[in-house]
Amino acid sequence: MTPGTARGAGVGYGAGIGLAVHVPPAPVAPEHEAAEDIETATARIHDAFDQVARALTDRAAHATGPLAETLAAAATMAADPALTDQTVRQAGAGFGPATAVTRAVESFATTFQEAGGYLAERVTDLVSVRDRVVALLLGQDEPGMPALIGRSVIIAADLAPADTAALDLDLIAGIVTAAGGPTSHTAIIARQLGIPCVVGAAAALQLPAGARILVDAASGTVVADPDEERVALALRRARRLAEVAEDDRPAATSDGHRIQLLANIGTPEDALRAASTAVDGVGLFRTEMLYLDRAAAPSSAEQVGVYRQVLDAFDGRKVVLRTLDAGADKPLTFATADGEANPALGLRGYRTARRHPELLEDQLAAIAEAATDHPSPVWVMAPMISTAGEAAEFAARARSHGITTVGAMVEVPSAALLADELLAPLDFLSLGTNDLTQYVMAADRLSTDLADLTDRWQPAVLRLVAATVRAGKTAGKPVGVCGESAADPLMALVLTGLGISSLSMSAPSVGGVRYALRAHDLRACRRMAEAALAAPDAAAARSAAAALLDETVRETLHV
């Protein structure tokens, strides 16, 4: 690697150039912070956590999509009495308030990391809460994004959702983080916002502040003081992709094989933005956004109103709603079980109905009411279905409310292996490839050390996808993908070759996928799929598929 260059995982295919702005380190409790009397310390600690929770809640209310979801989850952490109580106990043991917060968060973070999976993903949010509370207790400015005065490239060890919420999109040319992977929260939010981003680029922390920085997501590189030829190439490719994104023809291969390209959304605001683009509808409506950061579940009337807004936005186009996906990284104060040893493998997703069936029944009734006499086809699916019995139970529940098109998420290996049995009572399946990869490989998708295991090209994952599709073909029922794999144009070709009928992704990713599809016929897609399935590892699988890629597409998308 040449001096002044850092390499990581690119998010999307865009490019941007701006001046390097480093996010300053978080405040640190003094080494020998004086203890305070317990009454004073308790009052200050509670007040600081309350202020942070309110601020994060307000930011969540003004955000959309995955950003709003993660901000709301961070606000829930700040409002969690268990964290506050642990901090007060540390203060009672003789530690100063800021030190008490730090020790309490360290304890929770260790537990989260050991639990792995979804809880491990929340450590960044937990640390963000710590930093804001410590800053308040020390009388310092809130940590996070510095003021920007021109087109800037943000460089940070990591970014919490609250940091991303403060971004001035008119001044952000790119984002670079030393930590994280392609499915980290920073990556997902950057993709949603259309910001060129490179994650896992540790060497970028050494790039000088104020230097002219090129962020090239297509190549996964971050370059300080790049030559003009390199800048021109990257920006030309980005402009070409912007032109590609304007293509609003139906998505299909060059020989006319039709593929539905759908949007992932979380709020009515997301729906309005996505509906204005050339998508065939919604492949994943994360309805849990309506439930987060509440003391009680939303009323039936409120749910009906929100669901109706989304259906109205897509007037006549398909909308797939996922029922409440709570637990693990998305705890609900009124439903999530306390004290689970491993929440990522606990009462999350559809399993929430084991303790709180009323939440599911009320939601299904609200969806059915919103869908009554509406022109948009309404499909409903449950997350974390693991057995044929659960599939049959969910189908019966949904149909009892008058919902006619019922499906399930395939996120765990058992669901893929039993896909034929799951489909018997269902109408469709949708593969959540982020979770499926994580569970198949037993590897935290945010771990930089395990990035090779959580690669979407892992043969074990591809073979489970293929098995699920075969079950769908046998049953004559559609199987789609709504994980981040769908947003990768090369992977989209492989998935099409495997027989996937729909691909759902963030709306800004649709253009590149449509472009790649139109440049290849179905036979070429099938050859790519066969080559990837026969490969011995993830790198070889990707290389085998890329070797069959059209040269013009390769140059445009920098595959």
Calpha distance 292→19 (Å, rounded): 37
Active-site option among 22, 482, 520, 558: 482
DSSP E strands: which ranges in 287-374? Answer: 318-322
**Catalytic (active site) residue 185:** yes
Annotated active-site residue in 185, 356, 520, 558: 185
32 is catalytic: no
What is the chain's length? Answer: 559
Closest by CA position to 64, among listed 201, 200, 225, 189? 189
| Helix or strand (DSSP H, E) at 74 | helix 65-78
Structure tokens at 512: 């590149």
Give the phi and the psi of residue 502 in degrees, each rounded to 5: -150, 150
Q: What share of the chain is helix, strand, coil (3-state, %, to 5)?
A: 50, 15, 35
Helices 489-498 and 538-546: angle between axes, nearest 10 degrees:
90
Q: Which residues contact 126 (CB under 8 A, 6 or more apart)?
A: 74, 77, 105, 108, 109, 112
Quickly count: other Cβ atoms within 10 Å of residue 208's Cβ: 11
Task: Give the count of beta carbons closer than 10 Å to the beta carbon of residue 40.
Answer: 11
Structure-token pair, residue 371? 């869908």
Closest CA to 164 of 134, 136, 124: 124
Catalytic (active-site) positions: 185, 482
